[in-house]
Each structure stands twice: as structure tokens, then as C-alpha cells.
Structure 1
Amino acid sequence: MAFTATSVSQKTALLDQHKEKHFTAGEVVRDIIIGVSDGLTVPFALAAGLSGANASSSIVLTAGIAEVAAGAISMGLGGYLAAKSEADHYAMELKREQDEIISVPDTEAAEVAEILAQYGIEPHEYAPVVNALRRKPQAWLDFMMKFELGLEKPDPRRALQSAFTIGIAYIIGGLVPLFPYMFIPVAMKAMVASIIVTLIALFIFGYAKGHFTGSKPIKSALQTALIGALASAAAYGMAKVVQG
């Protein structure tokens, strides 16, 4: 059905009847995945390595907590800088597009026409769209940012939110493999419990990650658990080699 000015009410009615449900928390989930995955894996490998070096549970716990604190700060700072760089890049490109719309409007209009032509729209069909955008500078600018550059306007709170989310997720993940060392004084026994607890946590986390990212949950769970197991085994083996 072709929409015209007289069919606006009909279009509204159709949209009201069809409510699409899309997952819109992708950036938050990405930050949680980054924080928890590293939090589960790095302290897990560290604890296994120290246990392999015959360190006591108290030493493993102290070193593990120190690593979790340092890792959370480092990962959070990395998330902040990444989001801040993205926002700075958007602002720079926005300014450049604003200047070009003012200084070379015909060229920018030709770029709009080229973009629409890539979707198979004929010149007589996209000409009214181009002219309409030229009469609305803000809409024109938004169009160029999204369709020419592929950039979405970042949330101004994104940098701090990313830092906080990644840091907290890292702490939560990092405390899981260290938990047994709080109650079991013999490091080797604590390591066995840590392996069991962490592999279960990795499996559950991998399943949830697969569910939210659209991949196969079971496959994601097995892959995540396997990566964690390999990391801890490598750290334990290296500690044994260095020790003796």
C-alpha cells in the first residue's frame, strides 16, 4: 500500500496494531559480558596459578582481591575511555557535516541522492526527499550522520555508565573463584572447590550470554566454560613448571 498525506491516520492505526519488541539494552549487556567474563577468568587463573605454586589460601585470597580491585579499575577506565572516544568522534563528525551542509549544500544533496539510489530508488522518486531534507537542516544533518557515516548519537551519560557497569561486573565475576578461599584454609582443596564453582558460574554466564546475544545458549555456555578451564589449567601448569 502506498502512503499519501491522506493515509496518515491509517498508517498510525497500522503501527498501533503492530508493536515490535526489540532488545534495546545491547550496550549494557555488552559491558556486563566484558566485565563478568574477564572477572571470572582472570582471578580464576591467578588463584589456580598461586595454588599450583603452593601458596596458602590467605595469600591467594589477598592477591586475588588485589587483582579484582585493580582489574575493576582498569576495565572500568577502559570502558570510560572507549565510550568517551566514541562520543568525541561523533561530535567531530557532526561539526564537519554541519559545516559541509552550509558551505557545500549542493554536494551534500548529491550525496543524499547517491545514498537513496543505493537502495534502488529512482531519481524521480528521491528528488522530493532530497528537496524536503534541504528545507529541514536538522533532519538533513541527522540523515547524513546515520546513513552516510553510520553513526548513532551516543548517550552523554554512556561513558560513566559503561565504566560503572564494567567495573561492578568485573568485581562480581572476580569474587566467584575467590569465594572458596575465604572458607577453606588449604589452598589445593580450595582450588578444587573454586574450579567447580567457577565452571558452574561460567556455564550459567555463557548460557545467559548466548540467550541475550542471539547465539545458541548451550554452545555459548560450553565455549565459555571451556575457555575458563583452559585459562586456569594454563596458569596452574605454568606455576608448576616455574616452581620445579
Structure 2
Amino acid sequence: MATADDALQPGAHPDEPHREGLAQRLNWLRAGVLGANDGIVSVAAIVVGVAAATPELPPILTAGVAGLVGGAVSMALGEYVSVSSQRDSEHALIAKERRELAEMPDEELEELAGLYEAKGLSPETARQVAVELTAHDALGAHLSAELNIDQHDVVSPWHAALASALAFVLGAILPMLAILLPPAGWRLPTTFVAVLIALAITGTIAARIGGSSRLRATVRVVVGGALALAATFGIGALLGATGVV
């Protein structure tokens, strides 16, 4: 049963993103998909490189766990710092706009009318729209028209950080299992196949979220992952053959 929160805005289509909280959800999904993709590729590259150098499980397990933990922390910190900077900038812009509305409301009204006139409305209609929006929610109207910001939909750095870290761990588990569970002779082939299939899935999901070409996004991710695995495999095999490890 639909609730008031699920109701579409008047005139909105059910397949278009008009609901509140869109930035939060897209930010969470973006961080999650990128985190999973990085977890798959980075940890797979580590364990494949070590496995190419030595068939012993302890070094492979140690390197994989270290990559998993370090990568998850790094992803979380990176997302937190990045999104925090974005959030701070948005809060500063909101505070500035609120101060301008309090100190010079007439000038702000004229500015809002000018913005709508620049979008193609007649001067009379633009002013009427500005007056009505100002009466309804002056701050929201200016933030939307001037800065494309929704004060109720500012992204959360904690959501992005947690989603990214959790997704990284979930993605990293796949290559860990693929390299540790099969017999020695099947470890590398199994890992290569499992990782490339997983990357194809994450590439498709990312394309669906962004509304881009699924084929192009999937090929891009799979080829990039294959190159990373090939590079670390080659380095590991070289080091193992020369007796460095």
C-alpha cells in the first residue's frame, strides 16, 4: 500500500527520479558499486600476483586479508573526505543564501525573477512565479534556481563511507574464496573467471544506475580488470621465477 512518502509529485512520471532523497540514494548506490568493483579488482590482483609467485596458501591468505582490510579502510576514508567536502560546500552555500534573503529580500526576489526570465518566461510570468515561490519557500526556491541544491537532500558522508567500505569487503570476498578454495592447479583459472564474471555484473549495475550503455560500461570494466590481473600475474610469475620470493 502506498504511503504519503511514496506519492509522486504532481505531474511526475513513475519511472523518473522526482522524489526527495534522490541524491542520498544515488550517492549510496554509486559508492556501493564503486566499492565492490574496487574490492574485486584490487584484492584479486594482489592474490593473483602472490599466487603466481608461490603456491603456498599462507602468503596468499595474508596478502589477501591485508589488501581487504587496507582497501576497505582506504575506500571509507576517501569517500568520507570527498563527500564531507561536498557537504560542507553545500552547507556554506545554503547559509550564504539564507543570509542574503534576510538582509536584502527585495534584491533576491528580483534576482529570482531574472533567473526564470532567463529560462524563457515572460517578465510578468517570471515575476509571478518568483513571488509565489518566495511566499511558499524562499530559501528552497533560490537554492533550486541558483545552485541546483535541495537543502533536504544534502549527501551524507557517513552513508557513502559505510556503503563503500561494506561493498569493498563484499567484493573482495569473491577473489579470496576463488583463490583459496580450489585445488592448487585450479586457483588462478578459477579466480580469473570468477573475477571477470563479477566485474561484468558490477559494470552492468553501474550502467543501469547511470543510465548509460550497458555493453560499453561492462566491456570497459572487464577489460580493465583483466589487464590488472594480467599485470600482477606477470610480475608475480617473474619474481617467483627469479627466486626473489
1:164 aligns with 162
Q: Which has the larger radius of gyration?
A: 1
1:127 aligns with 127
**2-structure distance, mates of 1:143, 1:91:** 16
**1-structure distance, mates of 2:179, 2:135:** 67
Structure 1 segments unaligned to the other structure (5+ residues): 1-13
**2-structure distance, mates of 1:172, 1:134:** 47
How far off is 1:58 after superposition?
2.2
Aligned ranges for residues 60-139 of structure 1 at < 5 Å?
A: 60-136=60-136, 139=137
1:9 aligns with none
2:148 aligns with 150
1:6 aligns with none
**2-structure distance, mates of 1:168, 1:184:** 25
**2-structure distance, mates of 1:96, 1:200:** 48
Q: What is the percentage of aligned positions where both structures have the same residue?
A: 25
SS in structure 1 opposite 2:79? helix
Aligned ranges for residues 32-71 of structure 1 at < 5 Å?
A: 32-54=32-54, 56-71=56-71
How far off is 1:76 after superposition?
1.3
Q: TM-score, normalised by structure 1?
A: 0.82
Aligned ranges for residues 205-220 of structure 1 at < 5 Å?
A: 205-220=202-217
> Per-residue CA shift, 1:161-193, capped at 9, x if unaligned?
21211111000111111113322463x641221
Structure 1 position 239 matched with structure 2 position 216: no
How far off is 1:15 after superposition?
4.4
How far off is 1:51 after superposition?
2.1
Structure 1 position 20 matched with structure 2 position 14: yes
**1-structure distance, mates of 2:203, 2:228:** 16
How far off is 1:59 after superposition?
0.9
How far off is 1:108 after superposition?
1.6
Aligned residue identity for 2:61: L
> Per-residue CA shift, 1:104-158, capped at 9, x if unaligned?
223322221221012111111122223334545xx11111112101223365782
2:5 aligns with none
1:7 aligns with none
